[in-house]
Amino acid sequence: MVEAVSKAQACVVNISSEKKAASSSRWPFSPEENQRPRVNGMGSGVIVDGRGYILTNHHVVDRVAGVQVQLLDGTSYPARVLQFDPVMDLALIKVEPTSPLPAIKIGTSADLMVGEPVITIGNAFGYENTVSVGIVSALHRDVTLSDEQVYRNLIQTDAAINPGNSGGPLINIEGELIGINVAVRAGAQGIGFALPMDEVKRVAAEMLSTRRLAQLWHGVVAAETMRGPRRVLLAADVQRGSPGEAAGVRPGDELVQIGAMPVSNAVDVERAFLDARPGTPMKVVVRREGVDATLAVDVRPLPDGATLAAYEQTDPIWDTLGLKTSPASGDDVSSVNPKLRGGLFIQAVSPGSPAAAAALQRGDILVGMNVGDRNWETIRPDNIMYVLRQPEAVQTDSALLYVIRRNGLQSRRISLADPRVKNIIAQ
């Protein structure tokens, strides 16, 4: 435990901010933000790149007038918010350090076991760099804080998490980051929650992407997988016409090194490309059929007039129906119907989308679809696209969705007539 803390503690920061309080009846005619009362806020964060990139919770830096970051040695820097994802409750902030900062080693939450020892570090109640120890109490917990904030698939731990710990790390006994502390059960003892690292990595990689931070494009989509006993990082996709494709990177290649950085997760890939500049190719080492090959990826600016979304890893379900989903287990739906094997939590609904028009809500669980008198289960996100590409769906203008809401099964009819939907279905 001592060794794990010594590896990670310098990578944890304390975050103080001046939050803008919500408007109240005392200020009914003062809509300007700078006329609203302000309250002090505090939280924690974890350094994921030595150049000053820090992950924290979105709620720690939401609606703030200023963010100040303090390191373990007492050094303080002003920070700016670069990216945020309210659904995941993550934010990426940046400081400009005078020398490289220590970055935490990123682990995985895929192999966590109930009873496994874990450690939290953070700014608990304003007591900086507080360390607490516990175990993984449960996995795949769902927590509803309000109608606006629903968390899915959390790690539950009895390691003490208090106000001010939000955004700080949950680490294993190797000192690796396995989660981001996010919530505590008010009034309870030993019940705290953290975002699982494998879900955090997906969002954090997007926040750190060269597309978002530098308007540059490499086109390599990375994903972790197991090859026998080894966890490896693969090029899961190489976008068509991208610099990665031009350099010879192929889907299925194992990514070993980019520039001088060995890579083991998607966050590493984006960190490695942050210093890339057009005209100066980055050395990319890939392993193909057991043989290492060195390729040269020359990043390019996004074409003039191109939208950033066109070059991001697309989500066809969001593009077609306006839904962001995550898997639900059989235990989440069996109380409604024991024959149900699982479903999809609805995490977000896009305004103006077919899903919004069908009155689907965040927190619903999508368990099935009916198109042309045929029923399909929806257990994985790709089940939705499979159904939409059936001949019956192509030939009709609507589908029936079965959702669980407040422990009851309901049906919602969703339009498939939108040209955007038809275009993606036809692909």
Catalytic residue among 16, 59, 132, 198: 59
Confirm if 144 and 363 have CB atoms less than 8 A apart.
yes
Please give the sequence-ordered ranges of beta strands (E in DSSP) within 282-383, or none if there are none.
282-288, 291-297, 300-301, 323-328, 343-349, 365-371, 374-377
Catalytic residue flag (residue 382): no
Kindly state the greatest CA–CA separation across the chain.
Answer: 69
Give the Cα separation of 78 and 66 in Å (integer): 8
* Helix spans in 83-190 (H): none
- DSSP states of 167-216: T-EEE-TTSEEEEEEEEE-TT-SS-EEEEEHHHHHHHHHHHT-HHHHHSE
Catalytic residue flag (residue 275): no
With tokens 């006994």, the residue in question is 173
**Looking at residue 320, what DSSP letter applies?**
H
Catalytic residue among 166, 209, 242, 353: 166
CB contact set of 45 (below 8 Å; sequence gap of 6+): 12, 13, 14, 15, 54, 55, 56, 60, 69, 93, 167, 168
Catalytic residue flag (residue 218): no
With tokens 């607490």, the residue in question is 132
Catalytic residue among 17, 44, 58, 89: 89
Q: Dihedral of CA 33/39/43/47: which sign?
A: positive
Q: Which two tokens stand for residue 346?
A: 């609805």
CB contact set of 230 (below 8 Å; sequence gap of 6+): none
Q: Annotated active-site positions, please?
A: 59, 89, 166
